[in-house]
Chains A and B, each alone.
Chain A
């Protein structure tokens, strides 16, 4: 989903403020040993703050959209639970060329769409070409990739450059396989001009043309989405024949999950989830989220000579109280040692994270020769991530840097405006975050000099050509052990000298009725509803 995914429905932040009012009280409420009141047998209820604009996988890059599309559409490969290990899905396996440029996928012969039509390579080629040519939000996933069929059950994906992340990329729900015949019949197109000619979105928002464990039976972007079991699904039948996803604010989720049965709350903050610790009717699972908060400083001295100064940058790095960040974010949050989450290949372990050193920070401020250094810290004011408000962290940063002699003025900006100014290199210092598009370190190459995120604050490739070269090598090496080493090295160099200061990975929580199993959060599609079962 990248930074901010789609900002639609980010009323969560307002709701999160209000949540405090209820969360305290709710925790002291009756134990959840209440009778089932909101779900019939066979219905799983998932409450989440909807962030969804479509169920058409080729246009979907939203968290709620991913939950839905992962249930409806199969991908060539997939992951299970919270693991990032790729496993067979529509493809029983794949072969990769040594140079990681050619990937051959072997399709299973027994997969069928929800109308009983067999899934063939023709459908795969159509679906992936449609994603590429439609030029909607997920199109970048297919950048540099071409897809072709070799017989009815073999698909070949070729990459213009060596790209070992292809098996990870094809697990994303946006690359779900649709029934080409049905979608073509309803205005779909995979032609090179599909951006203008494809008209299948409305059709795919009403029905589903996938081969996954569920089919779409009701769809509303601000109310309720209902899924029913797909009778033609080739795999293990899901435990729940019906799944209802409801658009609920976090405070309401907190109450519902305690009163309901077969119920899941997806958007509770770590502190809200902590209030349920002693409630035997629900199970709380917390872990560190793959979302990563960081500070980014401009490299353009014209925008801010203070933030572009190497000593000031180091001073900020040593001046921050990282323990306060994780404490504020709640149980499960960890300090980010690098920009790649710790659970991904190449992620730096927390023990390698920088420690606050105020004396060193003050000395560096002095060494910079800048008198009374100051800057403005901009952050998106109307969203929160994993229940954590940007404003809270920004205030901590302001206090920390004030203590080492750097005056920070905080600037709260609505996210839509923030993104516009951020992309136009207007800010001196920003507090931002990155959420993984797919669970592979290649998704983080945007942070090397000249990468799309680096370019936002004027850190061009020419600033560090050797790091750019290292990035290219890491992104194209097929040996995972070597890739891990290379990405580790990149992050260490970024920590030594770059405009980025990794802050933390916040905690994420999933809360469900105590009888439920399989409550695991995936870095890409959050929850696989088909994997939720009962004891």
Chain B
């Protein structure tokens, strides 16, 4: 089925909103970071900076210019694809993001996959076995997943599964004895496979699993709860009763009618799940020494590395907007009523 003209307009409107939102977020981030009553030079030059050193730091980082000029220049550079240079690493922000995003992406993708498979599966199971012991256990587990703080869960998991039982390796992306595979995507598992380094792939995967599970815990809980209630709601619908009455198989009813109708609600939660992954990444990456964008953003905030803070904010904002955009489009695909509206 070709998308209707109305659906095309719907996508066009969302794309325009995407650009306006991104510009607004950059503006707000820039203003907020510059409102902090602190001097980046003093945060980066140690205890005894001389006036000449402070002046040089401000000059090199463009902090000697009036704020509106800095903002204007930032936008000009942004259009040119230049996010500035980090005051801490002295590397272009684009370079730093290029180094850190693949690490977070690898973590986020596996985490979302785990959350999706187990969250939707558990939710469906709980709904189909409503008020049974299985339902009770899964509801408790989902409650735990949603309510337990990520950092606590990460520490306990490290203690039990790495230190006590030795099932998983500790923090970091690879064992110290291993060497990172030749960089193609920046995702070690993918790059190791591309290079045919199976032992490195296995090592990278082992390091990836535990932080991904921790990061997935909250989303798993969230998805279980939403899927359960969405499926229960659909199962009460007349057409499901009709399908049962017609003698359709249970499998056909669940996957062909119930789950499909429940999908729009689940897709909404998947959008939220991406938000949870990005916020949770800050804590998980710190505890697991995972050199991703969460760790980079946190360190930039502490050091008042303004270009890096703005760069990370922009990236996260774009991810949010794109995910919401995809969710909106998926609504349209999954629910014809949205396209018509």
Which A residues are within 8 Å of any B CB, using their own CB? 1-11, 14-15, 18, 21-22, 25-26, 29-30, 34, 37-40, 43, 45, 53-54, 59, 61, 135-137, 139-140, 143, 195, 201-202, 205, 218, 220-224, 244, 246-249, 251-252, 255-256, 258-259, 382, 414-417, 419-421, 423, 434, 437, 446, 452-453
Question: By the criterion CB–CB under 8 Å, are B159 and A419 in contact?
Answer: no
Q: In B152-177, which residues have CB < 8 Å from any A CB?
A: 152, 155-156, 158-159, 162-164, 166, 169-173, 175-177
A222 and B39 contacting across the interface, CB-CB below 8 Å: no
A21:B303 contact, CB within 8 angstroms: no
Quick one: which of B42, B50, B60, B299 contacts A222, CB cutoff 8 A? Answer: B299
A249 / chain B contacts, CB cutoff of 8 Å = 171, 286-287, 289
Contact B37 A417 (CB under 8 A): yes
Which residues of chain A are near B50, meaning CB under 8 Å?
Answer: 135, 139-140, 143
**Is B38 among interface residues, defined by CB-CB distance under 8 A?**
yes
The interface residues of chain A lying within 8 Å CB-to-CB of B155 are 18, 21-22, 251
Decide yes or no whether B189 CB sits under 8 A from chain A: no
B156 to chain A, nearest CB (A): 8
- Cβ–Cβ < 8 Å partners of B151 in chain A: 18
Q: Do A420 and B37 form a contact, CB below 8 Å, given A10-B302, A251-B287?
A: yes
Whether a CB of chain A sits under 8 angstroms from the CB of B237 is no
**What sequence of 0s and 1s flags, for each residue 172-214 of chain B, a beta carbon within 8 Å of any chain A beta carbon?**
1101110010000000000000000000000000000000000
Q: Is B296 an interface residue (CB 8 A)?
A: yes
Bound: A4/B43 CA distance, A:
9
Q: Are B302's CB and A9's CB within 8 A?
A: yes
Contact B49 A137 (CB under 8 A): yes
Contact A420 B53 (CB under 8 A): no
Q: A21-B155, A259-B163, A259-B166 are in contact. Are A5 and B47 (CB under 8 A)?
A: yes
- Report the Cα distance A223→B60, complex, angstroms: 26
* 17 CB < 8 A contacts A-B: A7-B44, A22-B159, A53-B44, A135-B53, A139-B50, A222-B100, A246-B172, A247-B289, A248-B171, A255-B158, A259-B162, A259-B166, A382-B302, A416-B42, A417-B38, A419-B39, A446-B48
**B47→A2 contact, CB < 8 A:** yes
Contact present for A258 and B163 (CB under 8 Å): yes
Say whether B6 faces chain A, with CB atoms less than 8 Å apart: no
A7 to B38, CA, bound (A): 13
Beyond the given pairs A195-B52, A220-B291, A224-B172, 17 more chain A to chain B contacts, judged by CB atoms under 8 angstroms and listed by A's residue number, are A5-B47, A18-B287, A21-B156, A136-B45, A139-B52, A195-B56, A221-B88, A222-B299, A223-B172, A223-B291, A244-B176, A246-B176, A247-B289, A249-B286, A255-B170, A258-B163, A416-B42
Chain B nearest CB from A516 CB (Å) reads: 15
**Would you call B164 and A30 a contact (CB within 8 A)?**
yes
B300 — nearest CB in chain A belongs to which residue?
A8
Contacts of A22 in B (CB 8 A): 155, 158-159
List the A side residues contacting B162 at CB < 8 Å.
255, 259
Closest 7 CB pairs of A and B: A2-B47, A223-B291, A40-B177, A3-B47, A416-B38, A416-B43, A8-B303
> Inside 8 A of B172's CB, which chain A residues have their CB?
223-224, 246, 248
Closest to B163 in A: A255
Residues of B within 8 A of A18 (CB): 151-152, 155, 287
Which of A22, A45, A59, A137 has most B Cβ within 10 Å? A137
B residues contacting A by CB (< 8 A) are 36-40, 42-50, 52-53, 56, 60, 88-91, 99-100, 151-152, 155-156, 158-159, 162-164, 166, 169-173, 175-177, 180, 286-289, 291, 295-296, 298-299, 302-305
Q: Within the assembled complex, what's the spacing in Å between the Cα atoms of A361 and B305? A: 44
Establish whether residues A415 and B299, one from each chain, have CB atoms under 8 Å apart when the complex forms.
Answer: no
Residues of the A chain whose Cβ atoms lie less than 8 Å from the Cβ of B60: 195
Summed over the interface, the residue pairs from A and B with CB atoms below 8 Å come to a total of: 196
Shortest CB-to-CB span from A9 to chain B, Å, is 5
CA A246 – CA B295 in complex, angstroms?
14
Q: Are B38 and A252 in contact (CB under 8 A)?
A: no
Taking the nearest CB of chain A, how far is it from the CB of B294, in angstroms?
10
- Inter-subunit contact B99/A220 (CB<8 Å): yes
Contact of A53 among B42, B47, B90, B158 (CB under 8 A): B90
Q: Give the distance in Å from the alpha carbon of A438 to the alpha carbon of B68 in the complex.
A: 41
A222 and B90 alpha carbons, distance in the complex (Å): 14
Q: Are B159 and A26 in contact (CB under 8 A)?
A: yes
A417 to B37, CA, bound (A): 6
Q: B48 touching A420 by the CB < 8 A rule?
A: no
Are B287 and A15 in touch, CB under 8 angstroms?
Answer: yes
Is the beta-carbon distance between A256 and B171 smaller than 8 angstroms?
A: yes
Taking the nearest CB of chain B, how far is it from the CB of A299, in angstroms? Answer: 19
Contact A416 B170 (CB under 8 A): no
Q: Out of A40, A135, A139, A420, name the residue touching B39 (CB < 8 Å).
A: A420
User: Would you give the shortest CB distance from A181 to chain B, in whole angstroms?
Assistant: 23
A8 to chain B: which residues have CB within 8 Å? 44, 88, 299, 302-303, 305
**Bound Cα distance from A417 to B39, whole angstroms:** 7
Tell me how far the C-beta of B171 lies from the nearest C-beta in chain A, rounded to whole angstroms. Answer: 5
- From B90, B173, B289, B302, contact of A201 by CB (8 A): B90
Tell me whether B177 and A415 are in contact (CB under 8 A): no
Do B43 and A45 touch (CB < 8 A)? no
A39 to B45, CA, bound (A): 35
Report A-chain residues with C-beta under 8 Å of the C-beta of B177. Answer: 38-40, 43
| Closest A residue, CB atoms, query B149 | A18
Nearest-Cβ distance from residue A8 to partner chain B, whole angstroms: 4
Contact for B46 among A6, A26, A40, A420, CB less than 8 A:
A6
Determine the distance from Cα of A224 to Cα of B299 in the docked complex, in whole angstroms.
Answer: 15
How near does chain A come to B99, taking the closest CB pair, in angstroms?
Answer: 7
User: What chain B residues lie within 8 Å of A202 (beta carbons)?
Assistant: 90-91
Contact A419 B291 (CB under 8 A): no
Partner among A5, A59, A220, A255 whose Cβ is within 8 Å of the Cβ of B159 = A255
B38 with A140: CB separation less than 8 A: no
- For B154, the closest partner residue in chain A by CB is A18
Nearest chain A CB to B259 CB, angstrom units: 40
CB <8 Å contact, A416 and B46: no
CB distance from B62 to the nearest CB of A (A): 14
List, in ascending order, chain A residues with CB within 8 A of B91's CB: 202, 205
Contact check, B89 vs A414: say whether CB atoms are below 8 A apart.
no
In contact, A252 and B42 (Cβ under 8 angstroms): no
Chain B nearest Cβ from A290, distance in angstroms:
14
Q: Give A2's nearest chain B residue, CB to CB.
A: B47
Partner of A137, one of B44, B163, B180: B44
**Among A15, A45, A140: residue with most chain B CB under 10 A:** A140
CA distance A416 to B89 in the complex (A): 17
CA distance A417 to B299 in the complex (A): 15
By a CB distance below 8 angstroms, the chain B residues around A420 are 37-39, 42
In the complex the two chains form, is A419's CB within 8 Å of B38's CB? yes
Which residues of chain A come closer than 8 Å to B40, judged between CB atoms? 416
Complex CA–CA separation, A8 to B47 (angstroms): 13
* Separation of A34 and B166 alpha carbons in the complex (Å): 10
Q: How far is the CA of A249 from the CA of B170 in the complex (A)?
A: 12
Given contacts A9-B299, A135-B52, A249-B287, contact A37 B90 (CB under 8 A): no
B170–A256 CB distance below 8 A: yes
Partner of B289, one of A54, A139, A252: A252
Separation of A258 and B295 alpha carbons in the complex (Å): 25
Q: Are A417's CB and B36's CB within 8 A?
A: yes
Chain A residue numbers with a CB within 8 Å of B56 are 135-136, 195
Shortest Cβ gap from B52 to chain A (Å): 5
B176 touches A38 (CB 8 A): yes
The docked-state distance in angstroms from the alpha carbon of A333 to that of B91 is 39
